[in-house]
Amino acid sequence: MNTQKTALITGATSGIGRATAEIFAKNGIDLILCGRRKEKLEEVKKELEKSVKVITLLFDVSDREAVFSAINSLPEEWKKALNLVVNNAGNAHGLDLFQDASQDDFDAMINSNVKGLLNVSKAVIPLLIENTSGHIVNVGSIAGKEVYPGGSVYCATKHAVEALSKGMRMDLLSQGIKVTNIAPGAVETEFSLVRFKGDTKKADSVYQGFEPLVAEDIADAIYFAISRPDHVQIADMTIFPKAQASINLFERKDN
C-alpha cells in the first residue's frame, strides 16, 4: 500500500480549502489544488511547494466536461499517487424567503454544492479504486442536518451532501475507500460575503457578538479524520463554535 499521501482539494484558493492545503502540506501530503481563480491557485502553489509537491487544476466544479478534462489531464504519476479527495468547493447565495428568492441563486447553489460534488467524485473515484485505497472528505454543513428560514435551498443542497456521503460510504465499502462528512457551524470565511453578494456590512453582522470558527478549525478536523489509523473511519463530524448550539441558536454578547 502507498504510504505517501496525495490529496486533491477543490475550492483550494481560500477559506477552508486553502487552510486544508496548508495543514496537509505541513504534514507532508502532496497536493492537487483545484479552483477557478488562476492567480490565487498559483499563489497557494508558490507558498506550499516549498514543503511538498504541488500541481494545480483550473476548473469550475459545476462544469462536468471541464472537471473530467482537468482530472484526466493529470500526469500518470499523480493519478497513481492520488489517495485523498476533499470536496470543499461550494457556495450560498441570498437569504431571501423561498417565495422571494431568485431561481438563479437556486441554480448556482445546486450546480456547485450538489452537481459539483458529483462531478468531482465521479471523476476521481475510478482512480481511488485503481489505487486500492482512498479517503473522500465531503465538506457539508450544519445546514445538512437542520433548516432555517431563508435557507431552504441551501439547506437542501447540504442535506444532499449528507445523503451522498452516507450513500458513497455504503457503495464504496467493498473498495476499502473511506468517506467522511464534515459539518461546520458558523465559520468566518468568504462564505457570507459571497452569500450577500459583496455586502460587507451584512456579511460581518453574521458573526457579531460571538467568536466564530475560522477556516483553520475545520482544516484541523479534516486532517484529524484523514490521519486516523487505516482501520478507523470517521463517518461524520459536526463542529460548532462555543457560542453556537444549533443552526440558528447563538449566545451573542453586546459589543
Q: What is the pLDDT of residues 86-114, one digit of tens each?
A: 999 999 998 999 999 999 999 999 999 99
What are the backbone angles phi and psi of residue 84, rounded to the nearest 5°? -135, 135
CB distance 196 to 179 below 8 Å: no
CB distance 83 to 133 below 8 Å: yes
For residue 2, pLDDT over 60 is answered with no
Identified catalytic residue from 115, 154, 178, 207: 154
User: For the chain, what are the domain ranges?
Assistant: 6-188+209-248
Please indicate whether residue 158 is annotated as part of the active site: yes
Q: Provide the angle, in degrees to the nearest 10, between the axes of the packed helices 15-26 and 38-48.
A: 20
- pLDDT tens digit sequence for 131-183: 988 999 999 999 999 999 999 999 999 999 999 999 999 999 999 999 999 99
Please indicate whether residue 154 is annotated as part of the active site: yes
Q: Indicate the pTM of the whole model.
A: 0.94
Pick the CATH number of 6-188+209-248 from 3.40.50.720, 3.40.50.360, 3.30.70.20, 3.40.190.10: 3.40.50.720
Instruction: Pick the more confident residue, 199 or 233.
Output: 233
Identified catalytic residue from 158, 201, 207, 223: 158
DSSP 186: S
- pLDDT tens digit sequence for 71-86: 999 999 999 999 999 9
Given the C-alpha cell 441551501, which residue does it identify? 154
Strand partners, 182: 139, 237
| Alpha-helical segments (H) within 54-149 | 64-72, 76-81, 103-109, 116-130
